[in-house]
A = this chain, B = another copy of it.
Amino acid sequence: MASDGAGSLRPGGRTARTREAIAVALQAELLDVGYGGTTIDRIAQRAGVAKTTVYRRWGSVGQLVVDMFTQAAGAQIPIADTGSLEGDLRELARSSIALLQTPQRRTIFDIVVREAVHDPTARAALTAFFAARIDNAAVIVRRAVARGEVPADTDAAEVIRLVGAPYYARLFITGDPIGPEDADRAAAVVALAAREGLLATPARHQHSTPPA
């Protein structure tokens, strides 16, 4: 075990270096021994920081993962401009699936999805991640509206949500494999539905839970 007292979080470069060392150690441990085998003690030892530093700041491996996920989530997928709604959605979905097929990325994502079922901090992190992704990708729908490809009242958030739903449901619910063909099919289905006016912002049906 690491000795206590060394490497405490302090303002400035040292805190950032400590955080980076812990992030690297966390990733390595998760890939080496899985979520069930990863402990704060092992992460601290691997990062060369005091375990009390890690316990004081994060408390558990789950909270550490959620915090690292939130830090990394700022990097959004670049949005392609292919000239068609279907093309743009296909590129978005292909990039997203490629990320989910990266072992390092998938490991972290798995844990956040798992923790989000019961942990409010993880739930908030995951919801914030998707709110930012939807915000970032909504330009795809605005461009399609500007081209006259889809009706002006198309619900951009729902378009982006529906493109991702099939492969997230495969991964986490039905347990089916995912591949680029899931991106292509989802893009074709959602683009068709949007063009046919099925994805308009609901005028009267509101969700039973009011939006936050």
Interface of A toward B, CB cutoff 8 Å: 34-36, 110-111, 113-114, 116-118, 123, 126-127, 130, 158, 161-162, 164-166, 168-170, 172-179, 181, 185, 188-190, 192-193, 196, 198-199, 202, 205, 207-209
Contacts and interface: CB of A to CB of B under 8 A. Distances in A.
Contacts of A113: 117, 172-173
B118 A35 contact: yes
A196 B207 CA distance: 29
Nearest to A164: B169
Q: Which of A126, A166, A169, A177 is the most central at the interface, judged by chain B CB atoms within 10 Å of its CB? A: A169
Contacts of A169: 161, 164-165, 168-169
Contact of A164 (B123, B173, B196, B208): B173
A34 to B, nearest CB: 7
13 contacts: A113-B173, A130-B174, A130-B175, A165-B168, A168-B172, A168-B173, A177-B207, A177-B208, A177-B209, A179-B207, A181-B207, A192-B192, A192-B196
Contacts of A126: 173-175
Q: How many copies does the complex hold?
A: 2
A183 to B, nearest CB: 11
Contacts of A170: 161, 165
Given A113-B117, A208-B179, A185 B172 contact: no
B192 A123 contact: no
A34 B193 CA distance: 39
Contacts of A174: 126-127, 130, 161, 164
